[in-house]
């Protein structure tokens, strides 16, 4: 049996949902005639920009990996484990978020700030994005 999965974008204003493409939504509902289905609502957020990615790898990870003696990939994994580990999951098998799951605000204002603070405690200065020039 094949599974039918479709994604539709919508916006909610004053408690009412407006679909981006209501005709396409209605057309796809025909595939469910006589069947049960599941409606999953998930927030859509912007992924980090190229500049944010360059700042992360070219500044945050580069400075940290040089100081701590890890490769950039190892440093990235270590920071994910330290700051993106789900503390509610099993300790012996923790779930670790991917940085791609973070919104732009979570990535910069939470994740990168935590790394900056962590490094500062060891005397390592990681500049803010507005203090560096990216290509």
SS3 19: strand
Residue 50's pLDDT band (cuts 50, 70, 90): confident
Q: What angle do CA 23, 26, 28 make, to 5 degrees?
A: 110
In which domain, by residue range, is 56 found?
50-131
Is residue 29 assigned to a domain?
no
As separate numbers, helices (DSSP H) first and strands (DSSP E) second, the chain gives 6, 2
Contact 68, 123 (CB under 8 A): no
CA atoms within a 13 Å half-sphere pointing along the CA-CB vector of 57: 10
Is the pLDDT at 2 greater than 90, yes or no? no
Is residue 121 assigned to a domain?
yes
Average pLDDT over residues 66-92: 91
Query: Is the model's pTM score more than 0.95?
Result: no
Residue-by-residue DSSP string for 35-74: S----------PPPPHHHHHHIIIIIIHHHHHHHT--HHH
Number of folded domains in the chain? 1
pLDDT (tens digit per residue) in 5-46:
677 888 889 999 998 888 988 888 888 889 888 888 877 766
Is residue 35 assigned to a domain?
no
Residue 128's pLDDT band (cuts 50, 70, 90): very high
Average pLDDT over residues 115-133: 95
Is the pLDDT at 108 greater than 90, yes or no? yes
Is residue 20 assigned to a domain?
no
Is residue 112 assigned to a domain?
yes
């Amino acid at each position: 049996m094949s599974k039918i999965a479709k994604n539709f974008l919508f916006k909610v204003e004053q408690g009412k949902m407006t679909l981006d493409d209501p005709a396409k939504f209605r057309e796809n509902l025909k595939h469910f005639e006589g069947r049960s289905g599941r409606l999953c609502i998930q927030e859509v957020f912007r992924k980090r920009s190229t500049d944010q990615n360059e700042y992360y790898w070219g500044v945050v990870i580069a400075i940290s990996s040089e100081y701590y003696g890890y490769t950039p990939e190892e440093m990235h994994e270590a920071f994910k484990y330290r700051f993106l580990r789900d503390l509610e999951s099993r300790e012996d098998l923790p779930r670790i978020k991917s940085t791609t799951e973070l919104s732009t605000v979570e990535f910069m204002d939470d994740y990168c700030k935590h790394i900056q603070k962590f490094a500062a405690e060891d005397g390592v200065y990681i500049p803010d994005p507005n203090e560096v020039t990216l290509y």
